Amino acid sequence: GESVGLHLPTLSVQEGDNSIINCAYSNSASDYFIWYKQESGKGPQFIIDIRSNMDKRQGQRVTVLLNKTVKHLSLQIAATQPGDSAVYFCAEQSGNTPLVFGKGTRLSVIA
């Protein structure tokens, strides 16, 4: 498949380790945040979301942390697997405005 992000920052992790992907968002008025996973040749796939009245939310093997003071979002993936290899995007929304995407990070899992 064709790569969606040839020049993105890359995070390489060993299979079984935990991964942390960071994102700085731009709009202090944003009140809804989402992490997406995008594999080659596919559209972005929802992973987990969080609203601005929370600072942490957990899913299955994933955790999102939100620090509104410094406008920072992170995605933690526990026990990273080869199938987690993809490009990860954070996205933000403010009220009824459209979804705005960040630059993305490529996660490469080393077996």
Partner 1 sequence: DAGVTQSPTHLIKTRGQHVTLRCSPISGHKSVSWYQQVLGQGPQFIFQYYEKEERGRGNFPDRFSARQFPNYSSELNVNALLLGDSALYLCASSLDYYGYTFGSGTRLTVV
Nearest to 19 by CA among 90, 88, 92: 88
Residue 43 or 83 with smaller CB distance to partner 1: 43
Q: At its nearest, how many Å lie between partner 1 and the CB of residue 96?
A: 5
Note the residue count of the chain.
111
Residue 84 or 92 with smaller CB distance to partner 1: 92
Per DSSP, 25 falls in state -
Q: How much of the chain is helix, strand and coil, in % rounded to 5?
A: 5, 50, 45
Residue 41 or 69 with smaller CB distance to partner 1: 41
Site of interaction with partner 1 (CB under 8 A): 2-8, 32, 34, 36, 41-46, 89, 91, 93, 95-104
Q: How far apart are CA 74 and CA 61, in angstroms?
A: 14
Q: At its nearest, how many Å lie between partner 1 and the CB of residue 103?
A: 6
